[in-house]
């Protein structure tokens, strides 16, 4: 079962992630914010989006929004490690 081990805000709604298998990727939050929903509204403010944290291997925000680590693993642009 894949988990998010580390998350770091980059800029422009981009988040660098490290997964439990050691792979690294970048999540583009703009794709998430293209959707609608009451939990997404606060995230449209970059200062709030930056308040991300990890809970039980998922990427989360203080308003209760939680993104599945498996789904993040699928949609991230994975970085090649030399």
Please compute, for residue 22, the number of CA atoms within 13 A of its CA located in the half-sphere on the CB side: 2
11-68 per-position pLDDT tens digit? 999 999 999 999 999 999 999 999 999 999 999 999 999 999 999 999 999 999 999 9
The domain spans of the chain are 4-78
Distance CA(80)–CA(82), nearest Å, equals 6
pTM (two decimals): 0.92
What kind of architecture, by CATH, is found in domain 4-78? Answer: 2-Layer Sandwich (3.30)
């Amino acid at each position: 079962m894949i988990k998010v081990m580390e998350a770091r805000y980059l800029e422009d709604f981009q988040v660098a992630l490290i997964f439990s298998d050691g792979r690294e990727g970048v999540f583009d939050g703009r794709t998430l914010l293209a959707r609608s929903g009451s939990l997404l509204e606060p995230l449209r403010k970059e200062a709030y989006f930056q308040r991300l944290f990890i809970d039980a291997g998922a990427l989360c925000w203080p308003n209760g929004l939680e993104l599945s680590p498996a789904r993040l693993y699928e949609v991230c642009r994975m970085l090649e490690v030399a």
